[in-house]
Amino acid sequence: MLQEICAPFSSAINFTPEKIPTTLATTIKYYACLDCPYTSTKIANLKRHELIHTGKKPFKCPQCGKGFTQKIHLTVHHCKV
Ligand SMILES: [Zn+2]
Ligand SMILES: [Zn+2]
């Protein structure tokens, strides 16, 4: 009767996630952002995205979205526009 008690646990170990398309998961590599749920299939896209979190360009133009490393650069940029 002990075998019957153990049975659900052994089946749980042999559990295979059928809902996950394993073929897709292995063929397509996803690059995931560590700071947010952002994922991309291209490393270049992730590298560009990561700039949001790095704080290298914390001053962003609200009109065109261009990032600047220093506030003075953003101010000058606005004067030009
Ligand atoms: Zn992110
Ligand atoms: Zn701008």
Q: Render pLDDT for 7-61 as a digit per residue (tens, 0 to 9).
A: 444 444 555 555 655 555 556 678 998 888 999 999 999 988 888 777 677 788 8
Q: What is the pLDDT of residue 17?
A: 54
Beta carbons within 8 Å of 39's beta carbon, 6+ residues apart? 30, 31, 32, 33, 46
* Proximal ligand: closest to the CA of 46: 1
What spacing in Å lies between the alpha carbon of 65 and ligand 2's midpoint?
A: 6
* Proximal ligand: closest to the CA of 32: 1
What spacing in Å lies between the alpha carbon of 56 and ligand 2's midpoint?
A: 17
Residues 79, 73 contacting (CB under 8 angstroms): no
Q: What is this structure's pTM?
A: 0.37
Helices (H), 1-81: 2-13, 22-27, 43-54, 71-80
* Proximal ligand: closest to the CA of 75: 2
What spacing in Å lies between the alpha carbon of 39 and ligand 1's midpoint?
A: 8
